[in-house]
Amino acid sequence: MWASDVSQDVVRPSADGSAYLSDDPQYTGRADITRLKALHGLYRVKARLDLADDPHRGYDTEKDYRFEIRTDADRFEVHYTYFDLGGGGEYSLRKRGSDGLYQDVPCYGFNFEVEAERHFMRWSAPRSCLGRPTWIRMGADVFDCFCGADDFYDDALTTGVRVDEWQRRTTLGPRLRRP
Ligand SMILES: [Ca+2]
Ligand SMILES: [Ca+2]
């Protein structure tokens, strides 16, 4: 799957649950996804997320990049969290348990890398770490938290904004079957 996302469609959620498109050029670039690429290969699942700007750029922020992977049997997520105030970045592969909570999945061969200057991140994992699925569906989004004062959000597969009752909900792409 190769899906382009328009730029400058960054959403600003409000405390009252509504949301609106951000029009502040200082911020619209930094949480702006421009492309999601997902591949369900013979042996590995791969993804790449392109951004309009350096994925680490920000001021006093915590950025949370999330890939959601739905399979015919389970739900997984890959998180990349970057703390601007020291601490750097952390990434993980997690699986949703029957209690609805996500737990880390031990996965030998899981790779994650950020090419900050080239404005993208990518990861890949052996299919075995995802339960050797028949198919997968994938989506991605970013939540840029500006110390509680202002938040910014972009979903890779949705353009614009859901105005009412905004909540973080990653839009999933079509089923991808192993070749
Ligand atoms: Ca975008
Ligand atoms: Ca979008």
Per-residue pLDDT tens for 94-107?
Answer: 999 999 999 999 99
Domain boundaries, the chain: 2-177
- CA of residue 2 to ligand 2 center, whole Å: 14
Degrees to nearest 5, angle at CA 153 with 39 and 75: 40
Mean pLDDT (whole number) for 133-142 = 97
- CA of residue 12 to ligand 1 center, whole Å: 13
Q: What is the pLDDT of residues 15-56, one digit of tens each?
A: 777 777 877 766 666 789 999 999 999 999 999 999 998 888
Task: Return the CATH fold of 2-177.
Answer: Immunoglobulin-like (2.60.40)
Ligand with minimal distance to 156 CA: 2
Degrees to nearest 5, angle at CA 147 with 121 and 5: 35
Q: What percent of the chain has pLDDT over 70?
A: 88
Of 85 and 124, the one with more pLDDT: 124
- CA of residue 146 to ligand 2 center, whole Å: 19
Given a contact cutoff of 8 angstroms between Cβ atoms, the answer to whether 176 and 135 are in contact is: yes
Say how far residue 137 (Cα) sits from the centre of its chain.
13
pLDDT at 12: 85
- Phi, psi torsion values for 165, nearest 5 degrees: 50, 50
- CA of residue 158 to ligand 1 center, whole Å: 8
pLDDT at 106: 95
Mean pLDDT (whole number) for 161-171 = 75
